[in-house]
Amino acid sequence: MCGLLAYLSTDAERVDETRVDGVRHALHCLHHRGPDDTAVWSDGHTVLGFNRLSIIDVDGSPQPLPYAADRYRILFNGEIYNYLELREELRALGAEFATEGDTEAIVAGFHHWGPDVVTRLRGMFAFVIWDTATGTAFGARDPFGIKPLFTARLADGGVVLSSEKKALLELLGGSAGAGGVDPASLQQYLTLQYVPEPATMHRGIRRIESGTRFTVVGGELTTERYFHPVFAPARSPRAVSRSSTTGSPRPSTSRWPSTCGPTSPSGRSCPAASTPPRSRRWPTATTRT
C-alpha cells in the first residue's frame, strides 16, 4: 500500500513554491500508506508526491520514477503480478530498465504500447504518468478497483488526484471547499451502506471508476472504460435435454455407489439402500417440578 498525490495543470503554468509546499503538506495525510520513503517532484505544470511502502525492488524504484531520459514521471500504487513477463516483452522491443521493479514496467509499456498497456497488466493498480514532452497525463485503475483513486478540481483550475480523500480535502480547504456533503450520496450510503462509483460523500470529489483509464489534457480530465466483463452464456434446459439424447453421458442419480447396493455385483448388501432411513426424533423437553 502506497500513497500518491498529483497536482496537474495542463493548460497553464500554475506551479510555484506555494503550490509545491501545499502538496507536500497534504502528502502527510497519506503517510500511513507509505512510511518507507517520501518524495515530491515538480515542474511548471505538475507537482507529484509519493509515500512509498517498499515491497518489490526495495532498494530501487524510487517514486516519482523517471523513464526515457526523464520524459516521463510515474506515480504507482499497487502490484503487477506479470511484470517480469512484461519486462521481457519490452526488452524485445528495445526497452531499457534502470530498476528491477514493476513500476518501470508500466511506464515502459506506456512508452511502447500507449494507453493499451492497461490491457496487459495483471494485478491491482492505480497510477498516474506525467509526460513532460506533451504536457499531458495518463492513468488508470485496475479492473476491480482494488486500489483507490480520487480526483477533484481546485479553485485555480488544477486537477488533483490522490489515493485518499483526506489529502484532497486538505488541498481544498476542508469539507466546505469540497462542496459539502452530497445529499444523494448520503441517501445511498444510508440505504446501501456504501456510495456507488464515481460519487463520494462530497459533491466536489469523485472517484476514478474501476476498470477505467483517463487522460488530463488541456485542463480537462477525460475517462474511458477499458474493462468490460464477459460471462459465458448459461446453457438452457432444452440444450441439456438435447445433449442427453445424442449419446452424451448423463450424471448418475443413484444415491449409492455402483459397487454397493441390493443387487451389487460383489454380492455385498447395503441395508441402508433397501431400507428407508428412520426419521430421528429429538427428545421432547420435560418440565421438572
Query: Residues with catalytic annotation?
Result: 2
Alpha-carbon distance 110 to 71, whole Å?
12
Alpha-carbon distance 51 to 126, whole Å?
14
Q: Grid coordinates standing for 23?
A: 502538496
Task: Render the chain in DSSP notation, one character per residue.
Answer: --EEEEEE-SSS----HHHHHHHHHHHGGGGGG--SEEEEEE-SSEEEEEEE---SSTTS--SSEEETTTTEEEEEEEEETTHHHHHHHHHHTT---SSSSSHHHHHHHHHHHGGGGGGG--EEEEEEEEETTTTEEEEEE-TT--S--EEEE-TTS-EEEESSHHHHHHHHTSTGGGTSB-HHHHHHHHHHSS--TT--SBTTEEEPPTTEEEEEETTEEEEEE------PPPPPHHHHHHHHHTTPPPPP--SS-TTSSTT-TT----HHHHSPPPPP-PPPP----
